[in-house]
Amino acid sequence: MSFEQLTPTMPPRSVDTLKRATIPQLPQTGDLLAQIGNTPLLDLNHFARGLGVSARVGVYGKAEWLNPSGSVKARAALWIVQEAERTGQLYPGKILIDSSSGNTGIAFALIGAIKGYEVHLVMPANISQERKALARAYGAKLIESDPLEGSDGAIRLVRQMVAEQPERYFYANQYNNPANWLAHYQTTGPEIWQQSQGKITHFVAGLGTTGTFVGTGRYLKERNRHVQLVALQPDDELSVIEGLKYLPTAIVPGIYDATLVDHHLGIDAEETWAMTRRLARQAGLFVGLSSGAAMVGAIQVAKEIEEGVVVTLLPDDGSKYVSLGIFDRD
């Protein structure tokens, strides 16, 4: 018996019938951008106990590297793009441009790839090779700024470029764009409140663009004015911690609201590196330097209180920092 005889015959379908056929919709699916947000809140109590934190204090970390693009910045980048589209500032033919030390730029590049926008990123020349490679992988054009001027130098250069050709660009302006903090007011804050069952007593987060701290903190304060908001930054201008700013000598973001801060903590760079390695080796968390700094701050806060629930935010994973040698040390 031939193969043809075993194959059931089906009536031929016309081209018109095929054109009218619809793609089946499957449950639990959606486009990539719809997956931004709703990251898990990880229980870090066993790790915290090993560092001397009381059993009456809970320590939790929000796993933001699980966002598409690999960081918390996907939230703000998406809201900035959607708001620019809604208000007519961004449309096909406009180039999206911004300064970034890495994560927001990578998020813009991913969103641009999906939506069809050309993306130009001004980045300090000394950021890690991994971050440059990721931005290029999504098709972004990189313009490198003076490495000695850090993120402030990138801000100054992008402002100059936009001033010279304003009609060419949509300037995302993450440091001054209210859509940055609104993303966290509308998503990160409510998620933490719900995931902690409203029991959070302390929110600990680093200051970079300040959008995460401001938006999340503003929401949490509205739900419970007694929640303590702890802001982290390097302990001096010579301490370099990727993703964090030392605000006393930096260009202060326009979206920053200093009145929200209940406590400031200065974080040591060497302690940050050590904590980043410890998280990988003792907790199985392969995270980046800003996550290490966040955990340094969270543990310090947890040790200073008698009871409570400390929640911090872990912005990204460690894959963008391998070339820096963080994980090569003992």
Residues with catalytic roles: 73, 290
Q: Quote the DSSP letter at residue 236.
A: S
Structure tokens given for 74: 């996907």
Bridge partners of 204, per DSSP, are: 230, 312
How far apart are alpha carbons 62 and 4 in whole angstroms? 57
Instruction: Identify each DSSP E strand in the chain by its residue range.
Output: 41-43, 57-63, 95-99, 118-124, 141-145, 169-171, 202-206, 228-234, 263-267, 308-314
Integer Rg of the chain from CA: 23
- How far is Cα 21 from Cα 238, in angstroms, rounded to an integer? 62
Q: What is the DSSP letter of 321?
A: S
- C-beta neighbour count of 16 within 10 angstroms: 7
> Torsion angle, CA of 312/317/323/325, rounded to 10 degrees?
50
Residue the block writes with tokens 């907790």: 283
Length of the chain: 330
